[in-house]
Structure 1
Amino acid sequence: MSARTTQTSAAAPLRVVVLADSDTRWKWGALTARRLAPAGREVRLDGRLLRGRATPTPRQLAEVGVEADSLREVSAAEFLRAAFEERYDVVVLALVGGGVQAMLHGLRHVWGARAEGRRPVVVTGYVGVVYEKLADGLLLRHGADLVLANSMQDADRFRAVYEGVGADPDAVTEVALPFLGGEPYRGEKQDRPRTVVFAAQPSVPETRKDRVYLLERLIGHARRHPEREVLLKLRSRPGEHTTHIEELPYQKLARRLDRPSNFRLAYGHMGEVLDRTDLLVTVSSTAALESLHRRIPTAVLTDLGVREALGNHHFTGSGILASFDELDAGHLPVPDEEWLARQGVAADGSYQHAYDAARERLAELLRTPRLPPLETYYTHRTAPGYLPGILARHHLAPDGAPLPGAPVADRAPGPLRRAVRETARGAYRHGVQRVAPLIRRLGEL
C-alpha cells in the first residue's frame, strides 16, 4: 500500500450507525457517537429508528436537534441485513436492554457469515440515571465491545455486577452523559421574571393521585409567587410516546385545574429551557444532572417519599433533596461536591476529558485486524428459559437469524401504509391512556 493510500484511509470518515427505539435514546446514541470519534476525524452518522410503539415523530426528532447524514425507520431484520451489507466502523445500540440483547445475537449471526471476518465495534449504554433493574439491564447489554457508564459510580456498580455472575467486565468504560453542556448559571437576570421549571417524567409517579398532587403543588407555588414564571416542562405532546408509556399525561390532568397566568406548559429542547431556568424541580429526571452540570439551583422532591419506585433514592447524599414546603419558603438546595464528582457531573470543567478513555479504547478496537465474535453472558446454556423469548419479540430465531415472515421494509412506506401504521399506533395509545386506566379502576370497585 502506498503512502498516499495510507493517508487517504486514515482521513476517511468514521462510519457510524445508531439504532434507537425512542427520541431520548436517539439523542443519547447520536451524541455519544460524535463524542467517541477520534479528534479531527469526520463522522458519517446514519440513524436508524427501530419500528415500535415509541418510534419518535418528526416533531420529536426536530426537538432533539441532532442531525444525521441519513435517518429512517427500520425493522430489526432490515437493520441486521444492512449491518451485514454496509461497511460500518461502529454500531451504537441505543435501545432498551431486551433490544440490545436481541441485536447482539442477531449481529453475531449475520457477521458470522462475513468471509473476511472484520466486523464493526459495538457500543451500548444507558440514556440516563440507572436506578432500577440494574442487574437485568446490565446483563442484557453484556456482549457489546463497549458498555458505557455515565459516571464513576455507575462504572463501579456495572463491573461489580458482571464480576458477580462471572461475566467479563472489561467492556465497562466510564464516560459521562453526552448531552451535558450549556452556559453556566450566573444568577437571576433583571430582564425577566425568576423562572421555576418542573421537569416531568412519563412514568414517575404512576398514579393519578400523585400526579394531581404534584400539579396542585406546582400551581400553588405559582399562586404564592405571582412574580415568578412557573413552567411544567413536558417530554411529549398529546398522542406522542417516549421510552416509557404515559397513561396519565399531565396535559390531560392540568385541563381540569384552575391555573394562574404565570403557570404554563412548556415543550422544546431541555437545554433551551434550562437557559432561562432559575430553579429546576423534579422527582428523579435526568434533567436534574443537566441542571446541576450548569450550576442551576436544583431540587429533587421528597413529597412522595424517597423510594426506589420513584428513582429519587438515587439522589441520597446529593444535598438537593427538598419538599415543596421548603421550596415555597424560598429554600435553594446546595449540592454536595463529592457526590457530584461521582455522578459524572463535571461542573469543574473536566467534562471535556470525560470521553478520553472511551476514545482510546475505541481507537484500539478499530486498529485490531480481526475482532472476536460477540460473546454475550446470556446464551441458551445460561438462560434457556429467558433468552428465546427476548429474541422472539424481535422476530429472531434462537440462533439470532430473522424468523420467516419477519417484517422487512425494502422501500419507504407509501401513504396508505403510513396511514395504517399511524392508525395502529393511535389505537395503541388510546388503549394505554384511556382503556387500560378505566379497566384498572373498574377492577378496584
Structure 2
Amino acid sequence: MKESTVTNPAATALVLVAYDSQLRWAAGVGAELASRGWDCRYAAPSDVRSFVTPELERELGVRLERAPWAELVRRAAGADVLVLALQGPLTSRFVQDVAADAGHADGGRDGIRPVVVTGWVGVIVEKLVAGYLERFASDVVAVNSREDLRTFRAAGAQLGLPTDNLMLSGLPLLPGRPAAPRRGPVRTVLFADQPAVPASRADRSYLYGRLVEHARRHPERRVLVKPRHRPDEDPFRTARHHPAELLAGDDLPPNLELVYEPFPELLRSVDVVLTVSSTAGLEAVGAGVRTVFVADLGVHESLGNHVLLPSGLVRTLDVLEGPDAELPEPDPAWLRDWFVGDDDPRPPARRIVDRVAELADVPPAGRPFARTTATPAFRARVALAGHRPGPVSAVVPALPGRRRQGVRGRVLLACHAVLPSGWQDWPLVDRLRRA
C-alpha cells in the first residue's frame, strides 16, 4: 500500500493516556504522526487516576500535560486527530463526551472533526468482546493480532455494527517481523515482573524463590528481576507484593539483581526472558530473545497465560535446567498472528497513521465514526451512561449535565484521594469485599 502523508503544518493531534503502558503504545503512533507534520500533543486527564513516570517521558521524548477531563473534551473536539490509549471504559466515555460536545451525541450526520483512533496497549487477557464494544465507535480501531481481528469482525457482524473501521495494525511495540532468534549459551536470564500477576503473596514468593534457587545453582549466570515500577511509585496496577519487599532480608546470591532500566535496553544484553503473561514477552520474541511464559503456577484466566498457549512458549522454570537446545521455539502460526508484516512490511504505527491520513481527507460525515455513532448500540451506551453510574463514573468525577455519582463512586474517589497506594489489598478491605 502506498504511504499517505500530511503536509499541512497546522494539523493537530491530541493523544490521551493515563499510564506508562498506554504512553508506550501511544508514543509510537504519535511519533509517526509528528513525522508527517501533525502537531502532536500528549495529555492525561488530571481528574482521573493516572501515573506516568518522568523517566518514561524522557525516554520517549514526550511532554505529558495534565488537564481536566472537560478541558480535554473541548480540545479534542477541535483537533484533527484524537488518539485514545485510555482504558476501555474511559475511551467509551470520552468518545461519548466528545460527540456530545460537538452536538452529535446521537451520531449526528455531520460527524465530528477529529479522526478518532483507538486500540489495545497489549495482549487482551479478558473482556475481549466487551473491550471491542468500548472502542467500536471510532474511525480506526487498531487491532493487534489476526485472531483478535477475526473475533471482532464476527462480533460486529452479529451485532449489526460497521466493521470497516477495524484494521490489522499489529502492536506498535512490535516490529512487523520478529528478529532472527539468538542462539548461544545462557548467560543472563531476565524475569519481567508484573504488578498484579500473580496476585497472592504466597504465589509471588514462590516465583521469586525459584529465581533465587536458579541463581544459586547457576553462579555463572546473571538472574535479573525487572519490576514494572519502583516500590514507592503508584501506577495503575500497583504491585501488591513488590519483589523488593519479598526479597528484603534474604541472603540473596550475588548474581541475582533487581533492575529498573528500560526494558528495550535490557533486551539488548539478555539471553532469556521469563514472564507469566506480560506483553514484555512479545517484545522479547520480537527482538529475537528466547522467551518462556512461566507456567509454574498453572495456566489460568487469573494469570492471563491461557491466551498464550498457542505460542508454544508456556513452560515451567524447569526448562532452564536443561541444555539450551531444549528452550522452546515459538509456534510459527502464533508468530504470524502477532507479527503481521508478512503481508505488509510497514511497521504497525505507520499502518495506523497511513489510515489516519487517508481519513483526514474524507469529510467527517463520510468517516466510520459517523456510521458507528449512528447505530442503536452507540445510542444505548449514551443512554445507559446518563442513567446510572458505571465503571467510568466511579473514577471520573461527574461532569456538568451528568447525573451525580452514587455513594459507592464517591467513597471510591475519597479512598483513592486520601489513602496510601495498595489500600485495596488491606485485610479489612478484602473482608468487606467478600462480605
| Band the TM-score falls in, shorter-chain normalisation | 0.7 to 0.9
The alpha-carbon distance between structure 1 residues 349 and 195, as it changes in their structure 2 partners (threshold 3 A), is farther
1:338 matches 2:333: yes
1:59 partner amino acid = E
Q: Of 215, 227, 232, which aligns to 1:239?
A: 232
Query: How far, CA to CA, are the matches of 1:355 and 1:57 in structure 2?
Result: 23
The alpha-carbon distance between structure 1 residues 186 and 302, as it changes in their structure 2 partners (threshold 3 A), is closer
Query: How far, CA to CA, are the matches of 1:249 and 1:404 in structure 2?
Result: 39
Query: How far, CA to CA, are the matches of 1:79 and 1:402 in structure 2?
Result: 17
For the 8 Å contact 2:240–2:422, the answer to whether it is kept is no
For the 8 Å contact 1:60–1:236, the answer to whether it is kept is no
2:117 partner amino acid = V
The one-character-per-residue Cα deviations of 1:263-303 (angstroms, maximum 9, x if unpaired) are 01011211001111100011011011111112211101111
Q: How does 1:241-390 map to 2 (within 5 A)?
A: 241-330=234-323, 331-344=326-339, 351-354=345-348, 357-371=351-365, 373=370, 375=373, 378-379=377-378, 381=380, 388-390=388-390
Relative to structure 2, which stretch is displaced further, 279-288 or 318-327?
A: 318-327
For the 8 Å contact 1:219–1:259, the answer to whether it is kept is yes
The one-character-per-residue Cα deviations of 1:409-436 (angstroms, maximum 9, x if unpaired) are xxxxxxxxxxxx9x97673305245xx2
Query: Which residue of 1 is the match for residue 92 of structure 2?
Result: 101
Q: Of 26, 30, 41, which aligns to 1:29?
A: 26
For the 8 Å contact 2:28–2:349, the answer to whether it is kept is no
Residue ranges of structure 1 left out of the alignment (5+ in a row): 1-8, 407-420
Shift of 1:356: 5.7
2:143 partner amino acid = A
Query: Which residue of 1 is the match for residue 153 of structure 2?
Result: 159
1:90 matches 2:100: no
1:392 matches 2:389: no
1:139 partner amino acid = L
SS in 1 for 2:389: helix
Relative to structure 2, which stretch is displaced further, 163-172 or 194-203?
A: 163-172
Shift of 1:317: 2.4
Q: Of 219, 222, 226, which aligns to 2:215?
A: 222
SS in 1 for 2:213: helix
The one-character-per-residue Cα deviations of 1:392-421 (angstroms, maximum 9, x if unpaired) are 343456xxx665999xxxxxxxxxxxxxx9
For the 8 Å contact 2:74–2:101, the answer to whether it is kept is yes
The one-character-per-residue Cα deviations of 1:34-91 (angstroms, maximum 9, x if unpaired) are 34x49x62232201012333322323433xx2223x521122112112224xx42210
Shift of 1:14: 4.1
For the 8 Å contact 2:45–2:66, the answer to whether it is kept is yes
Query: Which residue of 2 is the match for residue 145 of structure 1?
Result: 139
2:29 partner amino acid = T
Shift of 1:382: 5.8
Q: Sequence identity of aligned pairs in percent? A: 33
The one-character-per-residue Cα deviations of 1:343-391 (angstroms, maximum 9, x if unpaired) are 2265x79653545653443222100133364617654636855664246
The one-character-per-residue Cα deviations of 1:227-259 (angstroms, maximum 9, x if unpaired) are 000000111111223332432222211214331
Query: Which residue of 2 is the match for residue 12 of structure 1?
Result: 9
Query: How far, CA to CA, are the matches of 2:191 and 2:283 in structure 1?
Result: 13
Query: How far, CA to CA, are the matches of 2:296 and 2:117 in structure 1?
Result: 38
Query: Which residue of 2 is the match for residue 53 of structure 1?
Result: 49
The two structures have a TM-score, normalised by structure 2, of: 0.83
SS in 1 for 2:191: strand
Query: How far, CA to CA, are the matches of 2:142 and 2:198 in structure 1?
Result: 27
1:66 matches 2:65: no
2:393 partner amino acid = A
SS in 1 for 2:155: helix
Q: Of 419, 430, 433, which aligns to 1:440?
A: 430
Shift of 1:211: 0.5
Query: How far, CA to CA, are the matches of 2:116 and 2:327 in structure 1?
Result: 42
Query: How far, CA to CA, are the matches of 1:443 and 1:404 in structure 2?
Result: 26
The two structures have a TM-score, normalised by structure 1, of: 0.81
Q: Of 423, 429, 434, which aligns to 1:431?
A: 423
1:440 partner amino acid = D
